Amino acid sequence: MKKVIEKYSEPGEWEAMLSFERIGDDKEWLGVLDAREPGKYKLTIIADHKVENTKGKITVRAVVGKNAHVIIKGIIRIRKGAQKTNNYLELRVLMLDKTATAIAEPELEIEANDVKASHGATIGQIDKIQMLYLTSRGLTETQAQEEIVNGWLNV
């Protein structure tokens, strides 16, 4: 399996295309979107399954800070005849501030039946219990948040 990790940490616009053209293709893609700087971020990721027997896993992890605006679009496309395809797309967004906004559009376009295609999208905040644990051990709010975000982004 081939795993690709892409990192984006400044405002901007990106498109990533994952093409499954050879039988047996197996690809994993992780996008880390660090939107702690204010500004606009737009990321589009497309998984295009053209032949049968391919497997993909796509994950986007994003943190969105003060006055940062994020748009994430993830598409799994399974074309006619691309049977026995398996793909899971996951969009996970952590909102750090009330002024943060996120638009998540996970799409599925499925034209074959013997497939497994699914996606999940979550948008939420830092777990208050984790924050409490760290601050009760002497970290400031900022430090605690930093630790959690870094751990979560896995950087």
Partner 1 sequence: MESYPLGFNTTTKGYIYKAKKGLSEKLVREISQIKNEPKWMLALRLAALKQYESMPIPLWGADLTDINWDNIHYYLKPVDRVYKSWEEVPDNVRKVFEAIGVPEAEKEMLAGVGGQYDSEVIYHSLKKTLAKVGVVFLSMDEGLKQYPDIVSKYFGKIVPYGDNKLAALNTAVWSGGSFVYIPRGIKVDLPLQAYFRINAENAGQFERTLIVAEEGSSVHYVEGCSAPAYSSASLHAAVVEVVVKKKAKVRYTTVQNWYKTVYNLVTKRALVGEDSTMEWVDCNLGSKITMKYPSCILQGERAHGEMLSIAVAGESQQQDAGAKMIHLAPNTTSKITSKSISTNGGRTSYRGQIKIAATANEARSKVVCDALILDSLSRSDTYPNNQILTGDATLEHEAYVSRISEEQMLYLMSRGLTTKEAEGIIIRGFLEPIIQELPMEYAVELNRLVKMEMIGSVG
The packing angle between helices 128-136 and 141-153, to 10°, is 120
Q: Does 40 bind partner 1 (CB under 8 A)?
A: no
- Identity of the residue, 6 or 97, whose beta carbon is nearer to partner 1 in the bound complex: 97
121 Cβ contact partners less than 8 Å away, ≥ 6 residues apart: 90, 91, 92, 93, 104, 106
- Candidate residues 18, 123, 134, 148; the one interacting with partner 1 per rule CB under 8 A: 123
Length of the chain: 155
- Candidate residues 19, 99, 143, 150; the one interacting with partner 1 per rule CB under 8 A: 99
Shortest reach from residue 63's CB to partner 1, in Å:
11
Stretch that binds partner 1, among 2-10, 28-36, 116-124, 143-151 (CB under 8 A): 116-124
- Candidate residues 95, 134, 144, 148; the one interacting with partner 1 per rule CB under 8 A: 95
